[in-house]
């Protein structure tokens, strides 16, 4: 049986109720909702019934308990989530612009999440792990980069596979050494899940075709391109698959990429071929945007099947 592990930030999200509202206005705030890109990813994996575990840190506070309780209830193994008595759980604040964009204010680097380090990668945390998923957004502190690289090395040494979603935010790119760390992860990645210009950015390519050649030369065997409301594509050993977006009403786009990634990786680990995994992932991303709150739209196979109008097929 596969077991998927990820590591990184565990936070709550507090958001504006409607598009165009600023967080400072009275009656605008909604939340806290469980969040953090790796947490959303792994929650989606667990909702699909695949064994899932998360390594991270929370404070000994109500926000930390809110997220870990949700993850545990959805089936994620949170035994390697450290509860730190002298730190607070991180938070992200989101507003929605009229042009479809979002603005974030993060309290993460100085939160419990920033204290994640390689020491947390105990043999118990890694035990039975057949696949590791790395989020670029998690690599915001040297200790976390070290932990991620060590986890990649250990999982690969044990015969496991690695997936990588850069999940970059513009302000992160200014951080010294981040691009080099992301490239180190990329060079050991089996499944790469970029969106927007992340495909070309990390391999310094001018266009998609050049980027794909360079990724293949690095040994990346599957590239899954997320295209928001335009669907998704997958370039794999058997060729190329594209999937059109499902028609849904978008309520809250945050978390779509993480749910998409969780579903794609879970399906591949269950033995589904890339084009089949892409269809489930496309549905997971689409369903995620129909729910307010980044983790609220993580789906079961039954929910995805209802959206796709087909019988659920949890195992290939």
Q: How far is the CB of 285 from ligand ATP (least distance, A)?
A: 2
Cross-strand pairs, 181: none
Instruction: Please tell me whether residue 245 binds ligand ATP under the rule CB under 6 A.
Output: yes
Q: From 71-79, 143-151, 179-187, 225-233, give the range in contact with ligand ATP by CB under 6 A.
A: 225-233
Among 52, 202, 256, 269, binds ligand ATP (CB under 6 A): 256
Minimum Å distance from CB 118 to ligand ATP? 26
Strands (E), 39-80: 52-59, 76-77
- For residue 20, count CB atoms less than 10 angstroms from its CB and return exposed for 0-12, middle for 13-18, buried for 19 or more: exposed
- What would the two tokens of residue 49 be? 């019934």
Residue 93 CA to residue 229 CA, distance in Å, equals: 23
Minimum CB distance to ligand ATP, residue 250 (Å): 4
Instruction: Decide whether 147 or 278 has the Cβ nearer to ligand ATP.
Output: 278
Q: Which of 232, 234, 263, 265 binds ligand ATP (CB under 6 A)?
A: 232
Q: Write down the least CB distance from residue 127 to ligand ATP, Å.
A: 29
CB 265 within 8 A of CB 45: yes
C-alpha dihedral (270, 274, 280, 283), degrees to nearest 10: 150
The residue written with tokens 């591949």 in the block is 268
| Residue among 117, 130, 38, 109 nearest 76 (CA) | 38
When binding is defined by CB under 6 A, the residue of 226, 236, 272, 279 that contacts ligand ATP is 226
Binding mask 280-309 for ligand ATP (x = CB under 6 A): --x--xx--x--------------------
Among 49, 114, 128, 228, binds ligand ATP (CB under 6 A): 228
Give least dist CB 229 to ligand ATP, A: 4
Nearest CA-CA partner of 63 in 108, 5, 115, 116: 108
DSSP 271: T
Task: Round to whole Å and give the CA distance between 227 and 82.
Answer: 35
Site string for ligand ATP, 163-182 (x = CB under 6 A): ----x---------------
* Out of 227, 275, 291, 312, the residue judged to bind ligand ATP by CB under 6 A: 227
Nearest distance from C-beta of residue 128 to ligand ATP, angstroms: 28
Closest CB to ligand ATP among 64 and 262? Answer: 262
DSSP state of 139: -
The stretch among 1-9, 27-35, 247-255, 269-277 that binds ligand ATP (CB under 6 A) is 247-255
**CA–CA distance, 237 with 218 (Å, rounded to integer):** 14
Within 8 A by CB and 6+ apart from 73, the residues are none
Torsion sign across C-alpha atoms 295, 92, 289, 8: negative
Taking contact as CB under 6 A, which single stretch among the options 124-132, 278-286, 297-305, 307-315 is the one that binds ligand ATP? 278-286
Give contact residues for ligand ATP (rule: CB under 6 A): 167, 195, 226-229, 231-232, 245-246, 248, 250, 253-258, 260, 282, 285-286, 289
């Amino acid at each position: 049986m596969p077991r998927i592990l990820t590591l990184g930030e565990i936070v709550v999200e507090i958001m504006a109720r409607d598009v165009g509202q600023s967080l400072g206005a009275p009656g605008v705030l909604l939340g806290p909702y469980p969040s953090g890109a790796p947490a959303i990813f792994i929650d989606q994996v667990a909702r699909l019934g695949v064994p899932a575990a998360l390594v991270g840190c929370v404070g000994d506070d109500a926000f930390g308990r809110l997220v870990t309780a949700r993850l545990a209830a959805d089936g994620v193994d949170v035994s390697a989530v450290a509860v730190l008595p002298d730190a607070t759980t991180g938070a992200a604040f989101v507003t929605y612009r009229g042009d479809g964009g979002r603005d974030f204010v993060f309290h993460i680097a100085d939160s419990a999440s920033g204290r994640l380090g390689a020491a947390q990668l105990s043999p118990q945390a890694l035990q039975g792990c057949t696949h590791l998923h790395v989020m670029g957004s998690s690599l915001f502190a040297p200790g976390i980069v070290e932990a991620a690289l060590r986890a990649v090395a250990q999982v690969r040494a044990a015969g496991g596979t690695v997936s990588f979603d850069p999940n970059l935010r513009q302000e992160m790119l200014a951080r010294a050494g981040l691009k080099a760390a992301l490239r180190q992860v990329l060079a050991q990645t089996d499944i790469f899940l970029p969106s927007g210009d992340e495909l070309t950015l990390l391999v310094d390519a001018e266009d998609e075709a050049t980027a794909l050649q360079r990724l293949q030369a690095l040994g990346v065997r599957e590239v899954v391109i997320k295209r928001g409301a335009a669907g998704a594509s997958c370039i794999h050993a058997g060729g190329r698959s594209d999937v059109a977006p499902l028609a849904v009403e978008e309520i809250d786009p945050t978390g779509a990429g993480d749910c998409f990634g969780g579903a794609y990786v879970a399906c591949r680990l269950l033995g589904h071929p890339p084009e089949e995994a892409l269809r489930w992932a496309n549905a997971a991303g689409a369903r995620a945007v129909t729910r307010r709150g980044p983790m609220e739209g993580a789906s079961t196979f039954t929910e995805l099947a209802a959206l796709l109008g087909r019988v659920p097929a949890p195992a290939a």
